[in-house]
Amino acid sequence: MILNMLKSMLSNFDMDPVVKLPAQKLAIIQHKPLEAPDLSKIRSLASPGENLDMAQFDGQRYVQPWKKTRKGIEFLDVFKLLIVSLGAKAPSKKEVSSMLSCKMNWQLIKSPPDSGGTQVTWMGHACFLIQIDNIKILTDPVWSKRCSPSKFLGPKRFCQAPCRIEELPPIDVVVISHNHYDHLDEYTIKKLGNAPIYVVPLGNGKTLRSMCVNAGRIVELDWWQECSITPKVSLVCLPAKHWSKRGLLDNNKALWSSWGILGSSVKVYFSGDSGYCSAFKSIGEKLGPFDLALIGIGAYSPDSLREFHMSPEDSVMVHLDVKSKKSIAMHWGTWKLSLEHVFDPPRELKRQLKMRMLDPDSFISIRCGETQQVLGAIQDQEEEEVLLESNT
């Protein structure tokens, strides 16, 4: 066992920083990028006098409105997490292919549902390809092997991205939840270039510009601000209980968030990274119900990590709070970032749903590379009408 652990740790010191990629494909160059949105039309969803959760900016850093609910991480746990980040206890390739990954269904991706629905494909961790109202959105895309400032050290992806970045259809919008390395990746951003519009929480534009994204392609929003991306799709920056850090001294200098993606008949919620907090009820009341929610279920052990991440127990509460009709699990099964077993989060999710007597199909975990389609309220209604007609 010790030998296996050593082997696994050593394999994480390889010198191959990123997947070897061919030159950019023509599809990306030929795609007509979306026009940059009209920033003067950004609006706040907060009505005058409404007491919504807001992060305060003290001139240097963002401060979130919630008190800490857990004690800080203990030294022994820091040591254990360091060992884990070196590759200990990551699943084998065999386990990954039998339990976690699958081939992408390119046929589905080429023919997404029309405006009556949405289609999402999990690319691992917090990255989804969302096809909605004829545009393609990527959330928190990371194609690097490691989520780390170093190309040679740090957590290494045990479940590979299901396709090369060049194989993706042209991306219209990239949504970023925050600047941690498992959510914002320089290699990926440089590959995507200036074709997409980048929609980010306040203060993250600077990091994107340092990655060669033109200022005109970046939209920065505060919590509860909404920006229309196309006549049919708008994005709403929403609260999350998390934090930010990318360099040595930049703690909380950029904001973090979750997101609402509002289409013509489908509403999608993307939780980003967050601990459980009161914001989810406000989000549900303000924007719910959501047809689909993408909710983090992993990186919750030791318990101190639940200050900023969700356990499946927390995730199920979020699913209910935001009034999600269907939820898909994320933030698990890609990098070993915490002490729970890699396959515990989906198992625990099933247990929590059963304990609360909730439909097991209402909150599912899917394979990396798998596509799910969700119908919107309008299409649901049309189907019901067809059913009624056929029954009369």
Q: Is 195 left (phi over 0), alpha (psi -120 to 50) or beta?
A: alpha
Compute the least distance from the CB of residue 328 to Fe ion, in Å. 19
Compute the least distance from the CB of residue 254 to Fe ion, in Å. 12
Q: Side-chain half-sphere of 280: how many Cα atoms within 13 Å?
A: 24
CA–CA dist 275, 69 (Å, integer)? 10
Calculate the alpha carbon distances from 304 to 58, 77, 277, 299 in Å: 26, 9, 15, 10
Per the CB < 8 A criterion, the answer to whether 53 and 258 are in contact is no
Task: Annotate each residue in 271-290 with x if it binds Fe ion (CB under 5 A) or - if it does not, as one string.
Answer: --x-----------------
Residue with nearest beta carbon to Fe ion: 180
Q: Name the nearest CA neighbour of 273 among 129, 174, 138, 177.
A: 177
Minimum CB distance to Fe ion smaller for 100 or for 142: 142
146 near Fe ion (CB under 5 A): no
Per 3-state DSSP, the chain is made up of helix, strand and coil in percentages (nearest 5) of 30, 20, 50
Compute the least distance from the CB of residue 273 to Fe ion, in Å. 4
How many residues bind Fe ion, per CB under 5 A? 2
Q: What per-residue string of b and e applies to 91-106 under the rule 16 or more CB within 10 Å gives b?
A: beeeebeeebbeebee
Compute the least distance from the CB of residue 202 to Fe ion, in Å. 16
145, 156, 157, 180: which one binds Fe ion (CB under 5 A): 180
Residue 275 three-state SS: strand
Compute the least distance from the CB of residue 93 to Fe ion, in Å. 27
Minimum CB distance to Fe ion smaller for 217 or for 331: 331
Contact stretch for Fe ion (CB under 5 A) within 45-53, 93-101, 122-130, 267-275: 267-275
Contact stretch for Fe ion (CB under 5 A) within 48-56, 91-99, 105-113, 266-274: 266-274
Residues that bind Fe ion (CB under 5 A): 180, 273
